Amino acid sequence: MNIETIKWLGDEDGCLEIIDQRYLPSKFRKLKCHDIDHLCHAIKTLAVRGAPAIGVAAAYGVCLAMQKLGNRETAAKTSRHILKACKQLVSTRPTAVNLSWALERIQKTAFESLNSKPRPNARSVKRLILEEAHAIYREDARMCRKIGQNGQKFIKSSMGILTHCNAGALATAGCGTALSVIYEAKNKGKKFNVYVDETRPLLQGARLTAWELKQAEIHTTLICDNMAGWLIRQKKIHAVITGADRIAANGDTANKIGTYSLSVLARFHNIPFYIAAPSSTFDLNIPSGQYIDIEQREACEVTIFAQTKIAPDGIFVYNPAFDVTPAENISAIITEKGVIEKPDKEKIAQHLAGSV
């Protein structure tokens, strides 16, 4: 797999290049973001998406914002500029915690430098922020590889694996989270079938995951969202694996809408349900899933399909982008640090406190 979803071009005065996922699979286009407003629009409109990917993109977004600042500005003005940029970026999508995680890292690095003596000039801070954004990028790619290595043991030859939405290279700076497990299993010589939910309303499964898996030459079957239960009943699916956008301290997990339903089906039919996510996706500041802010998106995503109206004018629409799967429905959470079997608050805290 050689999908480079995010790439910084140049030095601190450069730009961010992303694969524009709004056009896949019919067209492969790259989009260059030269300022923070352009990047925020790209995040909001899902040109770039996936919790890890938008975290990395946001880190580079601060680099873009810094380009509007003179090289000899005061520390106070530089600090205010960074805070304003981070506030703008974090407001783009409320559910994925990787966004705020990455921005907090950028702020910490910048403010430690600004509070040091002698005080650095703005250009030095720009370079430092870019270096930290590069570090976040590299760490995400490394975490993806480790997630795959830690999770591949759960996939056996001849299994049917169901995944939902897109948790692959297009959603990260590396080879993905849930799909990293699948790629690593393939690298081990295992032969299996991946069932891909289309993932309404924006079809990230059909448009993105199916596209990725085809590029990787993995045997893939695309299904409508409402077919999963029947396939599980027929014993064609032996495990479910998805990514995550935020994981609470007790293991409750927010992911693309429809994930909760799959976890219920898996539990009822006694098949394992796995979450694959980096440690940066955990939010220990919230005790449970009920405190996760669920993003509500525009009605047109439901009422319009392929630029064709499919619902009557004036109809009320409820369009949450995510739902929350309770920890008791999750067989294990796979991270770069290892595996948390039957996750709960104590196991998660112990897991995250350990080193890789």
Q: Which whole number is the average pLDDT over 53-60?
A: 97
Angle between helices 75-90 and 36-44 (to 10 degrees): 20
Residue 83 clears pLDDT 80, i.e. is over it: yes
203-222 pLDDT, tens per residue?
Answer: 999 999 999 999 999 999 99
The mean of the pLDDT values for the chain is 95
CA distances from 97 to 44, 148, 234, 346 (A): 15, 21, 36, 20
Q: Contacts from 296-304 at CB under 8 Å and sequence distance 24+?
A: 296/320, 296/321, 297/321, 301/201, 301/202, 302/201
Residue 70 in this model has a pLDDT that exceeds 90 = no
- Band (pLDDT 50/70/90 cuts) for residue 73 is confident
- Where in the sequence numbering do the catalytic residues fall? 245
**92: DSSP letter:** S
Residue 139, pLDDT score: 96
Q: Which helix (H) or strand (E) holds 334?
A: strand 332-335
**Alpha-carbon gap, residue 122 to 349, rounded angstroms:** 38
pLDDT tier for residue 1 given thresholds of 50, 70 and 90: low
The alpha-carbon radius of gyration of the chain (Å, integer) is 20
0.85 exceeded by pTM: yes
Question: Which value, to the nearest 10 degrees, does the dihedral of the CA atoms of residues 204, 210, 212, 218 take?
Answer: 150
* CATH number for the segment(s) 149-353: 3.40.50.10470
Cα–Cα distance, 318 to 212 (Å, whole number): 29
Name every residue whose Cβ is closer than 8 Å to that of residue 13 and which is 6 or more positions away in sequence: 67
Q: Tell me the percentage of the chain whose pLDDT exceeds 70.
A: 99
Comparing 10-19, 267-276, 318-327, 347-356, the range with the smallest average pLDDT is 347-356
pLDDT level of residue 346 (50, 70, 90 thresholds): very high
Question: What mean pLDDT do residues 71-77 have?
Answer: 81
Q: Is the pLDDT of residue 52 over 70?
A: yes
Encode pLDDT of 229-250 as tens digits.
999 999 999 999 999 999 999 9
Average pLDDT of the segment spanning 98-123: 89
| Preceding omega of 94 cis (within 30 degrees of 0) | no
Q: Where are the domains of the chain?
A: 6-145, 149-353
CATH architecture of 6-145: Up-down Bundle (1.20)
The pLDDT of residue 356: 62
Helices (H), the chain: 36-44, 51-66, 75-90, 97-114, 122-151, 178-187, 204, 210-215, 228-233, 259-268, 300-303, 345-353
pLDDT given at position 2: 77
Q: What pLDDT does residue 128 have?
A: 94
Distances (CA, A) of 185 to 155, 172, 193, 241: 6, 19, 11, 13
Widest pairwise Cα distance in the chain: 69
Residue type for 323, please?
A: D
Question: Measuring CA to CA, which residue among 67, 185, 73 is closest to residue 126?
Answer: 67
Position 118 scores a pLDDT of 78
pLDDT at 327: 98
Q: What is the pLDDT of residue 162?
A: 98
Query: Matching CATH topology for 6-145 and 149-353?
Result: no
